[in-house]
Structure 1
Amino acid sequence: MAAHLRALGFRVENYSRGIPWAEEERILVLDLYLRSGRLDKTDPRVEELCRVLDALTVHSTGSDPHHGRSTDTVALKLGNFAWLDPNEKGGASNFARGDADVWDRYASDEDALGAIVAAIQQERGLPAERPAEPPRQRVSRVAVEAQKVEQFQFSVPGHDIVASRREQGLVLTYVEYLESQGHTVSRGKYRPDGSDSVLASDLVDETDRVLYEAKGDVRRASVRMAIGQLLDYRRFEPPSTRLAVLLPRMPAQDLIDLILTVPATAVWRTTNSFASLQP
């Protein structure tokens, strides 16, 4: 009967407490909680998540694969995560051990959580437990070449796409300049411990041991982002490595002062060459 009603477009909810929460379900609820916080059962985002949970096949071993998580139960599960969240007051204190396990594993690693959520939504399931691996190389060098933009920031529609394209051209022009001076250049690729993700710097001057992060504009937000990226990458480089922000033109004096406090070098393009200030 339930399957027939669903085929007609009805939503059938099963309020039985006999169906345990699967890890995939907890992960999707945690993802919603971290994005939106505690939500009332009438919130459209809760209703949408119920539809997503209803489509999962994690309970397909029974006679009816559609377990029908209700908006009430999803709202309560959000409350469980609120109780586990040290930044929140209140919430449902009767959380399950599985809730705490998912919170401990993913609440502090939202990059990993996003990858797992994508895998669940694409019906690829949870990654299998892998055997212990030998230590992997944390740092590798690759050639500097025209590259795909790995990520865009869309805070200003269209602006950041243009800036990213300018950034690539700026890097390649500066590579030509350094190589004309007899320098050897590369890009650094870094693998943080315990992560499958790989970070990539824009440019490393192997001759002078300078790590560069380029930006296609001189906005404060871009300079601050470059500084953060440089500090992240520097952990993987030798202690003697110096830092530099590569820009398309001379930034405002206040931004130069900010860069120098890191300390780092500000390098920018001029009419015929490049100029810089040393820390």
Structure 2
Amino acid sequence: MVWDIPIGMSIGRRALHDRLGGGSRQDGITRVVKSDEMLVFTNDGGGEHGYGVHEGLRADGVFRYTGQGQHGDQKLTGNNKALAESEEIGRPIRVFRGQGTVTYVGSFALADPPYTWERFPGTGASPERDGLVFNLVAVDADTSLLPALADEEGSASSRGPETQASPVTTLWQPLDFSEYQVRRVDEGESVRSVSRREFELQTRFGEWLRARGEDVQVLRLTEDGVTIVPDLYVPTLGQVVEAKKSTARAYVRTAIGQVLDYTAVAGRRGLAVAPAILLPSEPRPSMVELCTSVGITVWWPISSGDFQDVRP
């Protein structure tokens, strides 16, 4: 079945399901078996069930969407499980906004991580509970049709583009690793750290730089209504640094794209910086060559506790 609903089109919910040939007309997440599409509906009304503060478009373009289940702890079963598995199965995720009449926002994919377990506030006599929050990113969509995340209502993403905003720097502080935890998605109850190695690596590197007399800061750059923040900004070296927890090719390639974006945006704001990548160990020579060939410095820790770099 060819998807023929254009982005921005509004249609009655009943008519939508009749057109697609299936799917629940009440659930916020539903699968249309006939076309194998995942449909996701956001209607700005989740606050009454205690999870509205978790749902909305973040400034970085990630759409946080709460899982299904209005009472008690949510579970990774049923439609929640179907949405979580959509990436590996290849099911398209179609996001709509509204209730009786819904507007098609576009197609989305699961981000990394695809979801986290979070505490939802209680409502009325109901206690706090555990809930799923899915992280969705646009594939072909008009994200301006989505509501802004509640705690970012006053941010640039909800006010519109601020493409000429100046860079903002603040003092860097060692990271608290305990802030970066989510519940294990496969076991349900045990807790693991996500990218803890990455945050430990950033802290070790930042403290090592300071011990050498370098200035270490946090740099915030805003363009097109989106704020991006490199992991470290070292003005005394003139570098913005992106840290990754692995030297695997996929991580290095992602870091290259991110750090080149940082330097390009900074340059358009009048701040000349050089790109750098921080890895947990010495990468393969081919990865070092790839980075240096596009002007990126590569850093990694060595056995002495110091850090070594290879510059372009």
TM-score (norm 1): 0.53
Alpha-carbon distance change, 41 to 147 in structure 1, aligned in 2, over 3 angstroms: same
Match 1:139 to one of 142, 147, 167: 167
Whose helix fraction is larger, Structure 1's or Structure 2's? 1
Q: Distance in 1 between matches of 2:12 and 2:208?
A: 49
**Number of residue equivalences:** 195
Q: Distance in 2 between matches of 1:266 and 1:28?
A: 53
Alpha-carbon distance change, 49 to 141 in structure 1, aligned in 2, over 3 angstroms: same
1:147 to partner: Cα distance: 4.3
- Cα RMSD of the aligned pairs, angstroms, is 4.9
Structure 2, unaligned stretches of length 5 or more? 1-7, 31-39, 46-97, 108-138
Runs (4+) of structure 1 exceeding 3 A deviation are: 24-29, 45-53, 106-110, 112-116, 132-138, 146-153
Q: Distance in 2 between matches of 1:209 and 1:152?
A: 32
Q: State the identity %.
A: 25
SS at match of 1:189: strand
CA deviation map 1:126-161 (0-9, x unaligned): xxx96x9998743100222244789999xx989xx7
- In the alignment, what sits opposite 1:9? none
- In the alignment, what sits opposite 1:237? 266
Structure 1, unaligned stretches of length 5 or more? 1-23, 58-66, 83-105
SS at match of 2:20: coil
Whose strand fraction is larger, Structure 1's or Structure 2's? 2
Which fold has the larger relative contact order, with Cα–Cα distance below 8 Å and residues 6 or more apart in sequence? 2
CA deviation map 1:85-116 (0-9, x unaligned): xxxxxxxxxxxxxxxxxxxxx96553x44545
- In the alignment, what sits opposite 1:251? 283
SS at match of 2:277: strand
Mapped contact 1:163–1:215 kept (Cα < 8 A): no
- In the alignment, what sits opposite 2:20? 41
- In the alignment, what sits opposite 1:275? 308
Alpha-carbon distance change, 227 to 48 in structure 1, aligned in 2, over 3 angstroms: same
Q: Distance in 1 between matches of 2:198 and 2:214?
A: 21
CA deviation map 1:159-211 (0-9, x unaligned): xx756211111111111221122111101111113x1x421111111112011
Q: Distance in 2 between matches of 1:224 and 1:257?
A: 12
Q: Distance in 1 between matches of 2:254 and 2:294?
A: 13
Mapped contact 2:198–2:243 kept (Cα < 8 A): yes
Is 2:301 aligned against 1:264?
A: no
SS at match of 1:44: coil
The structure having more radius of gyration, on CA atoms, is: 1
Match 2:231 to one of 196, 202, 212: 202
